[in-house]
Chains A and B, each alone.
Chain A
């Protein structure tokens, strides 16, 4: 990897995105870490190194997330709008999944981006987190897609 980068931080909201790392022969043995929303397949965990994969699905859920899972998305939306009339239904609209991913990510104790880290969003649902985090932390950049990461780090 180019010395410009200290390590890669892969963000994956879908398990098949993390599988792409295995398909490309990527390893996480240089300090890189993958943060996944959906639990990766056991074979993926094995090939990439389970300890380098942070399974965000295992993090304690927030109250809102628990509510959604319990009663379903639209019901939760109705409940929220009744309890907080000013709250927009769009809070649980198309961008919801990506917001949940971001919220989970920043609650992970292993999420500690530093200068010269390259955040790689492996799918669209992970881009929001990558975008915001690259602006929050100095010296961090973010790209979408494994191909872009390979080009940036070669």
Chain B
């Protein structure tokens, strides 16, 4: 969400009029969970158009279920899948195509659009740009916040090149004026799969948004307050959570700072509104070792978490394609970062120059314990100058610096076309 938010705001700051197509609020509340306070970060000049989304899949009020669905939820789900895929080959989101495209066409009729940025997933978000391009020659950009046919953990395709979705991706890529990827490994994979995009593909890295760090202060390590190491973000499947927690316990046995510290998880358990009970149960198992799940926190309040933390935990699944978004914000705090992931994970390259990172030699609990021990030492020897120096080093990752070159190039391209 934050990349899309920042992209829209950055275009506004560079003189564009921006309209954002998104789902209605209830969609986020029911399906993914929402952060209503973050809406305050939307530039007031942006027009937000909310396109209704079919929420019936996630409907928990049985009064709204049809007779068919009550008779056989499985059969009903099967029919839903067919209905979604007829429209566009994307489970759960495909049926949004018609409403989304209709709204894009309406907007263009009312106030001609010069450029479309589709940010995915869901991949159906690429369609308004493609439709406006085919019908009205409007250029569009495909922003891959996530990946479509690349399984980031296995490095393989998720569907065949001749599958319906494979053909759709090829079709969309052929007409896009630019294709953005969040890091070089993902770009490289796509350039090899689709050589015809090489001259149009760019790395537009994630970054941090300084506005969300406004109000951050340095932690006051009062003698009586236990040091806090914070995880901020979403806990989900492939993350080596159990190994990280075991490593935490092992480190507490040998490092006095870690033994007195707490490991606090802020954010969400799973990507959907309903918490992942397995992750919750795992964290609760380690409660006696100072591990706590602190619940969701609005993005607008993360600065207060960084203000009261002595270090940060970056827990990521093993993948040469994953850099994550939070690593940039973590670095901007200047705090020590426990890099709790396999060394081949792409975020390692981002963190490589950061002066206060402790890297793991592998993704085992023993390796993570060694990371926590080094973090304990960093906390014990921390001073303002080390934090300031680290935060200054991270300024290169401010998000506007990642977007600026592409927005300028697109402005020139659109003006030439006029």
B partners with A: yes
A residues whose Cβ falls under 8 Å from a Cβ of B: 20, 23, 93-95, 98, 119, 121, 124, 127-128, 130-132, 134, 141-145, 147-148
Known: A95-B71, A131-B65, A131-B70. 10 other contacts (CB 8 A): A94-B72, A94-B74, A98-B72, A124-B73, A128-B71, A131-B62, A132-B70, A143-B61, A144-B60, A148-B60
Q: Is B13 an interface residue (CB 8 A)?
A: no
B73–A127 touching, CB < 8 Å: yes
A144–B277 touching, CB < 8 Å: no
The DSSP consensus for interface residues of chain A is helix
Known: A20-B277, A147-B274. Contact between A130 and B74, CB under 8 A?
A: no
A95–B72 touching, CB < 8 Å: yes
Interface flags, B273-302, vs A, CB<8A=1, else 0: 111010001000000000000000000000
B277–A23 touching, CB < 8 Å: yes
A124–B62 touching, CB < 8 Å: no
Complex interface residues of chain B between 56 and 79 (CB less than 8 A to chain A): 59-63, 65, 70-75
Known: A20-B277, A23-B277, A23-B281. Contact between A148 and B73, CB under 8 A?
A: no
A144–B274 touching, CB < 8 Å: no
Nearest Cβ on chain B to A9's Cβ, whole angstroms: 13
B residues whose Cβ falls under 8 Å from a Cβ of A: 59-63, 65, 70-75, 273-275, 277, 281
A134–B63 touching, CB < 8 Å: yes
Give me 15 A-to-B residue pairs in the complex whose CB atoms sit less than 8 angstroms apart, sorted by A's number. Answer: A93-B72, A94-B75, A95-B74, A95-B75, A98-B72, A127-B70, A128-B70, A134-B63, A141-B62, A141-B63, A143-B61, A144-B62, A145-B60, A145-B274, A148-B61
Q: Cβ of A143: which chain B residues have Cβ within 8 Å of it?
A: 60-62
Q: Cβ of A128: which chain B residues have Cβ within 8 Å of it?
A: 70-71
**A127 partner, pick from B65, B273, B275, B281, beta carbons under 8 A:** B65
Nearest Cβ on chain A to B414's Cβ, whole angstroms: 46
Q: Cβ of B281: which chain A residues have Cβ within 8 Å of it?
A: 23
B74–A142 touching, CB < 8 Å: no
Nearest Cβ on chain A to B314's Cβ, whole angstroms: 28
B74–A124 touching, CB < 8 Å: yes
Known: A20-B277, A145-B274, A147-B274. Contact between A130 and B62, CB under 8 A?
A: yes
Report the Cα distance A98→B65, complex, angstroms.
15
Q: Cβ of B59: which chain A residues have Cβ within 8 Å of it?
A: 144
Closest 3 CB pairs of A and B: A148-B60, A131-B70, A142-B62
Q: Cβ of A131: which chain B residues have Cβ within 8 Å of it?
A: 62, 65, 70
Chain A: which residue is nearest B71 at the CB level? Answer: A95
